[in-house]
Copies of this chain bind each other. A is one copy, B any other.
């Protein structure tokens, strides 16, 4: 079937057999977009493939889940990004198989084949449940717009159910008003802060008949501290701030078992909750492991110093799916900044390789990751920023820095303007305008 399919396909850009090389970018996340942007209007055909029709600004999905932003604020149609790049096409579909030997890949379950001369694999990471029972069935992820909407619908519907039970004189079921966040990294910290603020500032007013003192947000972290990538002082600040806001923090605690209405921890504690948000870990997109090449823990693909696949100089692997050396004992962290740098590096490499001007064809050397530091926000008015030189900013200044950087990183003036309107509204009124249940 697949060999037949192959014969159907002549050229990615509609039947014109081009002599130009064809570069395929798999994934329209931070890495894939950074690479593709470098390839705009060069002497090559470029195809960007993604299973979604839009780029998702994942760092702000937690605000969609907590009703502060609309999905439309944090997503951007991929086709719109490249409409001025005549050599770049976008293909909407999930890559099902990559055939390195024949330099082609298959999209979806139809006979849809793309042949490539160069491949940039930027398919990112997916949620990893580490095989813990029940997480896949009952946990909520926070990697896509649909997942953020699901979580928002679920939390709001829970409160509506409690309101109904109250009207029936029934007991308020604790599982409906308890949100458990697994994972004390930036996503978990930001989400826990966002949920407790939603509870305290918004739902407490929306549901005056619900006893909010029984509503709980529990942040469970397997390691000894929150934000383990940051300095201990910032971890401590995050913890104190979250606790002051009312979040219960359990460090050195790991989830053992999840079912519909409870989360059981390894120490035997049972949290009565039907809302487990899984921010405890990611693994590289399984597409990488299916290649049969060398991977490290978490399924990340080992790459050469130019980010190409060892022994396969036409395939580059970037972003969360790549295991890229940084310091002797470390890999580049799976964050947007790393993915963007890798994307730009590979984009530059390939742009130079097809440049008619030979002056561009000089070797750009191995990829070098520039640490940009780390940041997280803990509810309104508190941000935590750690710069690579060790400088730390926290409190209000850190929060403003966080806001500014995220607005700048957002794609498109419209998204930026909408996010600023919504943030100003949320900040001034303590309101969350997007608390709608879309069925």
Chain A interface residues toward B at CB < 8 A: 8-10, 12-15, 52-54, 70-73, 75-77, 79-80, 83, 89-93, 107-108, 110-112, 145-146, 149, 156, 160, 163-164, 166-169, 205-207, 209, 412-415, 417-418, 421-422, 425, 431, 433-439
Contact = CB atoms under 8 A, between A and B. Distances in A.
Contacts of A73: 70
B112 A167 contact: yes
Contacts of A439: 52, 146
Contact of A72 (B70, B145, B169, B415): B70
Given A145-B436, A436-B77, A206 B83 contact: yes
Interface core residue of A90, A421, A436 (most chain B CB under 10 Å): A436
A168 B9 contact: yes
Contacts of A163: 91-92
Contact of A422 (B145, B418, B437): B418
- For the complex of A and B, the 6 pairs showing the least CB-CB separation, nearest first, are A70-B72, A79-B206, A92-B160, A414-B425, A70-B70, A54-B436
A166 B15 CA distance: 9
A164 B93 CA distance: 9
6 contacts: A79-B435, A91-B163, A92-B163, A107-B164, A112-B167, A414-B422
A176 to B, nearest CB: 13
Mostly helix, strand, loop or mixed at chain A's interface? mixed
Contact of A436 (B71, B414, B431): B71
Contact of A83 (B9, B205, B437, B438): B205
B112 A164 contact: yes
Given A77-B206, A79-B205, A149-B438, 17 more contacts: A8-B168, A9-B169, A10-B169, A14-B166, A53-B156, A53-B436, A70-B70, A71-B72, A72-B433, A80-B433, A83-B206, A90-B206, A107-B164, A108-B164, A112-B167, A414-B422, A414-B425
Contacts of A75: 436, 438
Nearest to A206: B79
A163 to B, nearest CB: 7
Given A77-B436, A414-B421, A433-B72, A110 B53 contact: no
Given A79-B207, A83-B205, A160-B53, A9 B70 contact: no
Contacts of A92: 160, 163-164, 437
B438 A412 contact: no
Given A156-B53, A436-B77, A8 B169 contact: yes
A437 B78 CA distance: 11
Given A53-B436, A435-B80, A437-B54, A167 B14 contact: yes
A12 B167 contact: yes
Contacts of A15: 169
A168 B112 contact: yes
A83 B13 CA distance: 56
A111 B90 CA distance: 52
Given A146-B438, A167-B9, A80 B431 contact: yes
Given A92-B163, A206-B83, A209-B14, A435 B77 contact: yes
Nearest to A114: B167
A417 B431 CA distance: 15
A311 B182 CA distance: 59
Nearest to A161: B92
A293 B160 CA distance: 32
B437 A414 contact: no
A435 B207 CA distance: 34
A169 B70 CA distance: 38
Nearest to A69: B72
